[in-house]
Chains A and B, each alone.
Chain A
Amino acid sequence: MKDELAEKIKANPDYQKLVKTRTAFSIKLTITMLVVYFTFILTIAFKPSLLATPLSDNSVTTIGVPVGIIIILFAFILTGIYTRKANTEFDDLNNKIKESVKDM
């Protein structure tokens, strides 16, 4: 990419907004995923008995089973949230940026 083009895009408020909002959003979701996963892993490492608790008195199913399934679902839902927002809101902003430099 030519420097002048890069400079022009950088000066575009839409670009600054895109980078700022998208970066913040990505970091927020990444940290959410990491916190959920490492909470799970560290529970297994330090206090596995917590996950080994049965759901009810006459059940052999432990809390660990729904927790595990929910983490899988959670990972999928997070990708859905990001993809939706990026493919609409962020891409709209990005298209405006592209439009503004299409003659260069």
Chain B
Amino acid sequence: MSRIITFLILSAIVLYGSGTIDGEIQKQDLNMSAIVMFLIFVGATLLITYWAAKRTKSPKDFYTAGGGITGFQNGMAIAGDYMSAASFLGISGLVYLKGYDGLIYSIGFLVGWPIILFMIAEPLRNLGKYSFADVASYRLRQTPIRTLAASGSIATVILYLIAQMVGSGKLIQLLFGLDYEIAVILVGILMILYVTFGGMLATTWVQIIKAFLLLSGATFMAIAVMLHYDFSFNALFSHATELKGIDIMSPGGLVSDPISAISLAVALMFGTAGLPHILMRFFTVGDAKEARKSVFFATGFIGYFYFLTFIIGFGAIVMVFQNPEYLDLAKQAVNGGSPILGGNNMSAIHLSHAVGGDLFLGFISAVAFATILAVVSGLTLAGASAISHDLYSSVFKEGNADHDAEMRVSKIATVGLGIVAIIMGILFEKQNIAFVVGLAFAIAASANFPILFLSMYWKRLTTRGAVIGGSAGLATAVILVILGPIVWVDILGNAEAIFPYKYPALFSVIVSFVTIYIFSVTDSSNTANDERELFEAQFVRSQTGIGSHGATEH
């Protein structure tokens, strides 16, 4: 194990080395301070992985870090999962571009959390063991429900992975001067290492460290910006409006009509409550009390983070926009305006240079890279547990898999997902992937969430209703995204979208709930009646935690 790690550290250094040699294709100069800081991060996380590997023996260790994470730690890790590089760079980029609209977007990402706490967290922790499919299939038929839940999980995970991998390749290319393919492969290899050897324990700690670094870095940037304006928001805003016009202070075109606005809100709210890599974190804490604390801390960190990205976006308007140092002259010559190097999503990165020079640019670049690594690791672990725990152990082996075999399958699944992520990352390099995260949220909201929610609270739910309704929600989400403006018009080049809205969730969630309802209430088979009989005992456990894993054993 330690020899493998040494080898990988060495190969990472070699990979970086090769990046320095063939420098002609680089868009950015090689960033030494970023590389040094990133190598420190990688070294530290590999040490953690080594430490965690010795403690990861059973499937319980692998999937849930043994259930011994505290509420505070888990809150930080959940926040870390949620604060991906896409949301750090994307939301600050959106604020930079459109001002106030960026805040609207981040509020949508946040408000799902209280709902998760009030409705989902506790029953989830009390009923489940390793994955949300445990809860959905608690009293329903294992094979069909697990298969559906695992498909929903794997679809969400792979879409999310594609978005992260493509983002990481481009980001690293820009920040570190590495080739796109090398960057993607490097991310894939490191993530496979963390997850296969260190399981959930390593993944959680990598996430915690990264969340801490990201929050510290963003805090520093926000304070540096506010210092220029004596901590007066109005002074910052008035300077920004002098440069970009008064419209950046009011809601703009992001949500133009009521249907889109509500549909986006539904996707963000219910989607968050159906993301498998977030849901699995609730099994890493000891009991419902810690699960609640996790959400409390996570909501605080995430809310604080969005507050910071708002300041950072405005900071970038005043310090990066029209600053000749960050101007993309080539692009300006063609399109005019004041485009910045690397596009709007790089505004936070340029701001880090504007406020803290090369050294701080290096730090933020390294943090952005670390963020990608941590998020893809969490995603891969969620995907691997859907494959090994839900599909292999519960469906294929009907619950009789021995621990060693299950562990082996989970590691093979991790490596497999890592390879898929690398290949997808390379294939999608030049593709427009704007729809990918939206689709992931739509699937989570319309397939995963309704099944999970109704299995917890609705007695009359049956296997037939859940399978047909969940599949219908999944299919509707996918079809509407394909027929919608982003894929049908922007990617496939058709003149007009068949489905006029960018966000399908409002429709696909309704389809899912209605179909589940119809096919459940009309189900009068014996198994359906048995499933309804089992609800009472399940509900008692979901409310009290009596009989749940790790809660009452000691």
Pair from one complex? yes
Q: Counting CB contacts under 8 A, is B337 at the interface?
A: no
Given A1-B540, A41-B255, A72-B306, A64:B299 Cβ within 8 A: no
With both chains docked as a complex, state the minimum distance between the C-beta of A26 and any C-beta of chain B, in angstroms.
4
Bound form: Cα–Cα A9–B303 in Å: 39
Q: Counting CB contacts under 8 A, is B57 at the interface?
A: no
With both chains docked as a complex, state the minimum distance between the C-beta of B179 and any C-beta of chain A, in angstroms.
39
- Please name all residues of chain A whose beta carbon is closer than 8 Å to the beta carbon of B119 when the two chains form the complex: 26, 30
Given A44-B104, A61-B237, A18:B543 Cβ within 8 A: yes
Q: Counting CB contacts under 8 A, is B459 at the interface?
A: no
Contact B300 A68 (CB under 8 A): no
Chain-A contact segment, one of B8-16, B105-113, B184-192, B200-208 = B105-113
Given A91-B289, A94-B544, A40:B113 Cβ within 8 A: no
- Please name all residues of chain A whose beta carbon is closer than 8 Å to the beta carbon of B261 when the two chains form the complex: 41-42, 44-45
With both chains docked as a complex, state the minimum distance between the C-beta of A76 and any C-beta of chain B, in angstroms.
5
User: Considering the complex, which residues of chain A in the window 44-62 have a beta carbon less than 8 Å from any beta carbon of chain B?
Assistant: 44-46, 48-49, 51-52, 59-62
With both chains docked as a complex, state the minimum distance between the C-beta of B75 and any C-beta of chain A, in angstroms.
10
Bound form: Cα–Cα A26–B261 in Å: 25
Render B252-278 as a binary contact track against A, CB cut-off 8 A, 1 for contact: 000101101110010001000000000
Q: Counting CB contacts under 8 A, is B197 at the interface?
A: no
Q: What is the interface size of chain B, counting residues whose CB is below 8 A from a CB of the partner?
A: 55
Bound form: Cα–Cα A104–B320 in Å: 67
Contact A98 B552 (CB under 8 A): yes
Out of B237, B307, B546, which one reaches A1, CB within 8 Å?
B546
Out of B115, B122, B233, B538, which one reaches A33, CB within 8 Å?
B115
Bound form: Cα–Cα A62–B258 in Å: 22
Out of B103, B262, B299, B537, which one reaches A68, CB within 8 Å?
B103
User: Considering the complex, which residues of chain B in the window 281-299 have a beta carbon less than 8 Å from any beta carbon of chain A?
Assistant: 288-289, 292-293, 295-296, 299
Given A26-B119, A30-B115, A30-B119, A83:B546 Cβ within 8 A: no
Chain-A contact segment, one of B43-51, B152-160, B243-251, B470-478 = B243-251
Q: Counting CB contacts under 8 A, is B399 at the interface?
A: no
With both chains docked as a complex, state the minimum distance between the C-beta of A81 and any C-beta of chain B, in angstroms.
10
With both chains docked as a complex, state the minimum distance between the C-beta of B233 and any C-beta of chain A, in angstroms.
6
- Please name all residues of chain B whose beta carbon is closer than 8 Å to the beta carbon of A38 when the two chains form the complex: 262, 265
Q: Counting CB contacts under 8 A, is B241 at the interface?
A: yes
Provide the main secondary structure of the chain B interface.
Answer: helix
With both chains docked as a complex, state the minimum distance between the C-beta of A87 and any C-beta of chain B, in angstroms.
5
- Please name all residues of chain B whose beta carbon is closer than 8 Å to the beta carbon of A9 when the two chains form the complex: 540, 544, 546
Q: Counting CB contacts under 8 A, is B30 at the interface?
A: no
Bound form: Cα–Cα A27–B111 in Å: 15
Kindly report which residue of chain B lies nearest to residue A31, judged by CB atoms: B118
Contact A1 B547 (CB under 8 A): yes
Given A10-B536, A60-B246, A65-B249, A87:B115 Cβ within 8 A: no
Q: Counting CB contacts under 8 A, is B117 at the interface?
A: yes
Contact B544 A78 (CB under 8 A): no
Kindly report which residue of chain B lies nearest to residue A52, judged by CB atoms: B250
Kindly report which residue of chain B lies nearest to residue A98, judged by CB atoms: B546
Render A13-49 as a binary contact track against B, CB cut-off 8 A, 1 for contact: 0010011001000110110011001101110111011
- Please name all residues of chain A whose beta carbon is closer than 8 Å to the beta carbon of B306 when the two chains form the complex: 72
Given A42-B258, A68-B107, A83-B295, A52:B251 Cβ within 8 A: yes
Contact A51 B546 (CB under 8 A): no
Contact A62 B249 (CB under 8 A): yes
Bound form: Cα–Cα A19–B122 in Å: 13
Contact B303 A73 (CB under 8 A): yes
Bound form: Cα–Cα A87–B293 in Å: 9
Bound form: Cα–Cα A22–B255 in Å: 35
Bound form: Cα–Cα A27–B110 in Å: 18
Kindly report which residue of chain A lies nearest to residue B253, judged by CB atoms: A48
Contact A72 B307 (CB under 8 A): yes
Kindly report which residue of chain B lies nearest to residue A55, judged by CB atoms: B234
Bound form: Cα–Cα A94–B249 in Å: 48
With both chains docked as a complex, state the minimum distance between the C-beta of B108 and any C-beta of chain A, in angstroms.
8
With both chains docked as a complex, state the minimum distance between the C-beta of A5 and any C-beta of chain B, in angstroms.
7
Contact A94 B296 (CB under 8 A): no
A-B contact pairs, 18 of them (CB 8 A): A2-B537, A6-B540, A26-B118, A30-B115, A33-B114, A34-B115, A38-B265, A42-B261, A45-B255, A71-B107, A72-B106, A72-B110, A76-B303, A79-B296, A80-B296, A83-B295, A86-B292, A98-B546
Q: What are the nearest 10 A-B pairs in CB distance?
A: A52-B250, A6-B537, A45-B258, A48-B251, A45-B261, A26-B118, A83-B296, A72-B303, A68-B103, A60-B238
Given contacts A79-B113, A83-B292, 19 further A-B contacts (CB under 8 A): A6-B541, A9-B546, A10-B540, A15-B540, A29-B118, A30-B119, A40-B107, A42-B261, A45-B262, A59-B234, A60-B237, A61-B233, A62-B250, A64-B103, A64-B250, A72-B307, A83-B117, A86-B292, A87-B292
Q: Which chain B residues have a beta carbon within 8 Å of chain A's beta carbons?
A: 100, 103-104, 106-108, 110-111, 113-115, 117-119, 122, 233-234, 237-238, 241, 246, 249-251, 255, 257-258, 260-262, 265, 269, 288-289, 292-293, 295-296, 299-300, 303, 306-307, 310, 536-538, 540-541, 543-547, 552
